[in-house]
Structure 1
Amino acid sequence: MKRIVFFDIDGTLTRGVTSGAYLAGLLGHGRAMEEAEAAYARGEIDNDEVCRIDAAGYAGRSRDELFCLLEDMPLVEGVRRAVEAVHAAGAEAHIASLAWGVVGEFLCAQYGFDGYVGSELEVADGVCTGGVARALESEGKCVYARELCAARGIDPSACIAVGDSRSDIPLFELVGTSVAFNASEEAERAATHVYRGDDIAEAIAAVL
């Protein structure tokens, strides 16, 4: 049976920090990003506003520069093994995240994920302008999943989603199997499986 496993990034693949906060800290606007993410978690602003605040700090940076910064981003255990297990089961591993697409692109290059969707920084002449090309919201993950499944001839109910927060819940509701990985109570209530631990490969092994 064909299927796709969708992985969130922040709080799921990352350990102890979001990719946005990690990069913002290195780029010099860490405090502003921390405050924006906290406001988003409280439901006070949407991801469009978080992206607008964050993107300003990327002005003048190239993709290669950002890839270099991402090399030391802390991740949970077992990311490569999780992707390998998905492939061994004959499935595809995709990233569906509100994080910047450059982070998804980096993870595809480094760990073998098959594709990604995320928010997008505005780029001109190979460098970030400080603007936002696209701010993805939760439903955007579902749009990506539906389009990908349609292109592959896969029923979304055959697929798996792994995430940790409220932005993952719409995708949890779309697919047949969902894993709340070290997740919020809200995400755990929406998931078919709950896993708490350090190794995402173990969480994936339980549902493949």
Structure 2
Amino acid sequence: MSGGRNCSFKLIVFDLDGTLTRERSIWEYIHKRLGTWYGFAETFQERFLRGEISYEEFCDLDAQVWKGMKIDDLSAIARTVPFREGVDSLIEYLKQKGLKLALVSSGLSLLTSWVHQRYGFDDSISNDLLHEDGILTGKVHIRVYHDKKAVWVRRILQRFRIPEEEMVAIGDSRGDLDMIQMAGFSIALNPSCRDLEEAADLCFQSDNLAEIIPQLPF
């Protein structure tokens, strides 16, 4: 956090799950829609949070549940995830201001890629469920770790030749903390942890993203 309100901002990096959408995890959302969450996949999350398994093991266990399913079926479920109100208004405003838009998500590319295309983002990165001939193999290619988003944010900054102080970051959870801390201006949206709330320049409680617009420093 640098509090650069006088900067000319050129890029905004969004978290996706829980920020643009109302669901904090697309993994959990799909499991619930398929009936594989309660008493089953939720135990993987509990074990991870207790430190009993690694993040890689957590993701692998999740992906194995879907082995043999059609990726198109999961993609269709992902596209039913509810978005927050005001997404269209906020995106339109940011584009009018000339900012580039990026998504960095520890969720799944079957949602991230769709959001990228739907709203005309300039860059996005997330994790891939592997498949052969459209059938899920039960494997996942992890690119974005839950607590290491800054690695990808730096690559995006390098791609567009934009310094950190000219970047805005917005997220909702502890997994967004490292990119929030490096941004020229940062927003914690309905933050789920105090660390994020304390690190951000703006802490905003709302289900309507359009209400953020008057609070932006540009």
1:202 aligns with 2:211: yes
2:112 equivalent to 1:113: no
Q: CA deviation at 1:154?
A: 0.5
How many angstroms apart in 2 are the aligned matches of 1:204 and 1:194?
A: 13
Q: Structure 1 residue 29: deviation in Å?
A: 1.6
**Are 1:30 and 2:37 counterparts?**
yes
Say yes or no: does 1:129 pair with 2:137: yes
Structure 1 residues 43, 171: closer, same or farther in 2, change over 3 A?
farther
Contact 1:85 1:205 in 2 (8 A): no
For residue 4 of structure 1, report the CA deviation from its aligned partner. Answer: 1.4
RMSD: 2.2
Structure 2, unmatched stretches of 5+, are 1-7
- What is the identity percentage for the equivalent residue pairs of Structure 1 and Structure 2? 29
Matched, 1:68 2:72: no
Against the structure 1 CA distance between its residues 124 and 149, is the aligned structure 2 distance closer, same or farther, given a 3 Å change threshold? same
Give 1:97 shift: 1.2
TM superposition score normalised by structure 1:
0.88
Letter in structure 2 aligned against 1:64: D
Offset of residue 70 of structure 1: 2.2
Aligned length: 208
Identify if the C-alpha distance between structure 1 residues 149 and 130 changes in structure 2 by more than 3 Å, giving closer, same or farther: same
| Alpha carbons of structure 1 residues 45 and 176: separation in structure 2 relative to 1, 3 Å | farther
Larger RCO, structures 1/2 (Cα 8 Å, 6+ apart): 2
Structure 2 counterpart of 1:163: 171
- Residue in 2 aligned with 1:13? 20
Unaligned runs of 5+ in 1: none
Written as runs of structure 1 = structure 2, the 5 A alignment for 1:63-102 is 63-102=71-110
Query: What residue number does 1:186 align with?
Result: 195
Determine the structure 2 residue equivalent to 1:55.
Answer: 63
Cα shift readout 1:131-187 (whole Å, capped 9, x = no counterpart): 112252145421221111112111022101111111100101121111000002221
TM-score calculated relative to the size of structure 2: 0.84
In 2, distance between residues paired with 1:42 and 1:159? Answer: 34
Asked if structure 2 preserves the Cα contact closer than 8 Å seen for 1:165 and 1:186, the reply is no
Given residue 195 of structure 1, which amino acid in structure 2 is its aligned partner? F
- Aligned mates of 1:110, 1:35 — CA distance in 2: 33
SS in structure 1 at match of 2:90 = helix
Give the match's secondary structure for 1:168: helix
